[in-house]
């Protein structure tokens, strides 16, 4: 069980972030997650994340890593009554991944208002996975195999760093990291988006994509269509491009609580979908190596 002092620290940080983002926050929505995952949270990566756009108003994410030994975090959520069991073949994907691939860690996206949303299976940084081997997994949705050639032509084969399942929205993601410099230039990005059936992004998004190190398309569970694609960039600068054009991101980037020494760790993302483009920001609250450090606030 998570110690009372650590529980209070995390709850207080969530409340502070909620006030910063004008989100209604109830401790009763967060405490069950702290109970379910217990003392692993004392030494987990903990990240607060938010997004602009019409589908993300009124909530933000309390995200955290889960050690491999704990197993599938969605199964933990089901066993503790955080979510209902899902009757769908994709629920076997993580067990199939674990049987065939080196899983280094798991993760959870937990909405402060919406509750448990997404779970991740992450591969070792020095052992990204091949598209072909992942596409052959029986429970892998067909979207990966159908787009594997396009992704490989874009230079992404052997760069899969994680797979995620969004149970709340019935979608899933494949994460590609270590993008080559030529892959983030407009002459490469624009043809890929056209091939995936996505609209041409704004100049602002294209400018941001040039700085990105990772990308992740989103698929529906039962369709091979790419619903949207995100590009992300790591930074310690609260005035990066998304913050300059989205006031809520700038406010969050400069003032979100954090509990470690050194520079703040921020991950910006720009998303393109068929009906909108928007930005995301993840601000690390706790890093696993610095878990005992007390919370600091930006000046």
Residue 297 has pLDDT above 60, yes or no: no
DSSP structure string for the chain: ---HHHHHHHHHHHHHHHHHHT----HHHHHHHHHHHGGGGGGS-EEEEEE-STTSTT--EEEEEEEGGG--HHHHHHHTTSS----SGGGGHHHHHHHHS---EEEEEEETTTEEEEEEEE--TT-PBPHHHHHTSTTS-HHHHHHHHHHHHTT-TT-EEEEEEETTTTEEEEEEES--GGGGSHHHHHHHHHHTT-PPPPHHHHHHHTT-SEEEEEEETT---EEEEEEEEEES-TTSHHHHH-HHHHHHHHH--B-SSSSPPEEEEEEEESS-EEEEEEEEEE-GGGTTSPPB---
Predicted local confidence at residue 54, as pLDDT: 80
Beta bridge partners of 177: 214
Find where tokens 């937990």 sit.
110
Q: What is the mean pLDDT of the chain?
A: 93
Residue pLDDT, tens place only, 150-185? 999 999 999 999 999 999 899 999 999 999 999 999
Question: Is the pLDDT assigned to residue 290 strictly greater than 80?
Answer: no
Neighbours of 252 (CB within 10 A): 23
Percent of the chain with pLDDT over 90: 91
Cβ neighbourhood burial of 218 (10 Å; 0-12, 13-18, 19+): buried
What are the C-alpha distances in Å from 31 to residues 46, 57, 219, 249, 294? 15, 22, 31, 26, 20
Return the residue matching tokens 């994907």: 93
pTM of the model: 0.94
Condensed to tens digits (0 to 9), the pLDDT of residues 27-42 reads 999 999 999 999 999 9
Q: How confident is the model at residue 289 (pLDDT cuts 50, 70, 90)?
A: low
Mean pLDDT of 129-143: 94
What does the pLDDT average to over 274-283? 95
């Amino acid at each position: 069980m998570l110690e009372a002092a650590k529980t209070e620290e995390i709850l207080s940080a969530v409340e502070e972030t909620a006030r910063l983002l004008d989100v209604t926050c109830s401790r009763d929505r967060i405490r069950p997650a702290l109970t379910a995952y217990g003392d692993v949270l004392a030494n987990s990566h903990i990240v607060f994340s938010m997004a602009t756009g019409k589908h993300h108003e009124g909530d933000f994410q309390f995200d955290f890593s889960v050690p491999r030994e704990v197993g599938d975090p969605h199964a933990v959520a089901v066993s503790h009554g955080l979510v209902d069991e899902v009757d769908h073949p994709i629920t076997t994907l993580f067990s199939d991944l674990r049987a065939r691939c080196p899983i280094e860690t798991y993760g959870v996206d937990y909405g402060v208002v919406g509750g448990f949303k997404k779970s991740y299976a992450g591969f070792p940084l020095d052992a990204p996975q091949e598209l072909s081997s992942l596409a052959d997994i029986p429970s892998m949705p067909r979207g990966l195999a159908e787009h594997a050639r396009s992704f490989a032509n874009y230079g992404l084969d052997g760069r899969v760093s994680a797979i995620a399942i969004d149970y709340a929205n019935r979608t899933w993601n494949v994460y590609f990291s270590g993008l080559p410099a030529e892959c983030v230039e407009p002459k490469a990005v624009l043809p890929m988006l056209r091939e995936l059936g996505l609209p041409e992004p704004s100049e602002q998004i294209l400018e941001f994509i040039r700085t990105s190190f990772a990308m992740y398309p989103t698929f529906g569970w039962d369709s091979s269509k790419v619903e949207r694609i995100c590009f992300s960039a790591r930074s310690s600068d609260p005035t990066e491009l998304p913050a300059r054009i989205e006031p809520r991101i700038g406010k969050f980037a400069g003032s979100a609580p954090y509990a470690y020494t050194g520079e703040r760790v921020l991950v910006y993302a720009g998303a393109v979908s068929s009906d909108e483009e928007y930005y995301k920001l993840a601000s690390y609250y706790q890093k696993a190596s610095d878990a005992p450090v007390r919370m600091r606030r930006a000046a």
